[in-house]
Amino acid sequence: MRQVAVVTGGSRGIGRACALGLARAGMDVVVNYHENQERALEVVDTIHSYGVRAIAVQADVSRSGQVKRLFEETAQAFGTIDVLINNAGISDSTLGMMISDQQMERSIDTNLKGCMYCCKQAALLMVRNKRGKIINLSSVSAFKGLTGQSLYSATKGAVNAYTKVLAKELARFNIQVNAVAPGFIETDMVSALPAAKQEEYLKLIPARAFGKPEDVANLVCFLSSGKADYITGQVMLVDGGLEIG
């Protein structure tokens, strides 16, 4: 029986690369999206071409009721869940003293609470099966102080701490929980940065290049596989050396 993976924010960027990578590895995939149904369905069509099953499910991960529905639809379609990739997230680049209440609430609701909502629903299903993999997408910003990233850094740092505790709590159920912390990856989020800011960040990266979504997806797929059964509670960087630069 094929394993089933849920990828939040799976219609583009890193989420899309993860969804396609897991499908190529032989998993059925639930592609979660917030707004862009067309892009999500394009990912689903590509996955079908690999000979596995896929569905697209709309849900705002910052809303607990919608997250519960996401996992209910997953269970209805596939019967279970084996892998959760918590990828959905947002980044508000703002100086700490200029962060608005709205920005703060939106980032915490999506990046932290969204991660926790999804982990809770996935764990409830995985515990019954006594197996599972949860990979939370963090960020190098949780390790390295970057101007304008205080809010993003705070939420991703919290994700790292939550990952470690959840890994300890779920280890006895044969569920591994890890986090992957990308650096600057060629996604819509990085493309939206002004050219001058992109050049500034490139100079900080020893590899002197932005990563590709597939660079992150390769590690995510490994952690989702049986080859990573003895790895849990870890936060792994994929950043071209940015954190040490």
R_g of the chain, CA atoms, integer Å: 17
Amino acid residing at 69: R
How confident is the model over 223-243, as pLDDT tens digits? Answer: 999 999 999 999 999 999 999
- Does the pLDDT value for residue 147 go beyond 70? yes
**To which H or E segment does residue 5 belong?**
strand 4-7
How confident is the model over 182-202, as pLDDT tens digits? Answer: 999 998 877 877 888 888 889
Nearest Cα to 12, choosing from 61, 29, 37, 24?
37
Residues 33, 117, 152, 162: which is the catalytic one?
152
Q: So what's the pLDDT on residue 132?
A: 98
Q: What is the mean pLDDT of residues 45-60?
A: 98
pTM: 0.95
- Does the pLDDT value for residue 32 go beyond 80? yes
Nearest Cα to 74, choosing from 87, 62, 57, 86?
57
Measured in degrees and rounded to the nearest 5, phi and psi for residue 99 equal: -65, 130
Taking the C-alpha atoms of 120, 124, 7 and 70 in order, what is their torsion angle to the nearest 10 degrees? -90
DSSP 117-181: HHHHHHHHHHHHHT-EEEEEE--GGGTS--TT-HHHHHHHHHHHHHHHHHHHHHGGGTEEEEEEE
Q: So what's the pLDDT on residue 240?
A: 96
| 82's tokens | 């084996």
152 is catalytic: yes
Q: So what's the pLDDT on residue 96?
A: 60
Q: Domain locations in the chain?
A: 4-244
Euclidean distance between CA atoms 13 and 57, whole angstroms = 17
Euclidean distance between CA atoms 231 and 180, whole angstroms = 12
Q: For domain 4-244, give the fold.
A: Rossmann fold (3.40.50)
How confident is the model over 69-103, as pLDDT tens digits? Answer: 999 999 999 999 999 999 998 777 776 677 788 88
Q: So what's the pLDDT on residue 148?
A: 67
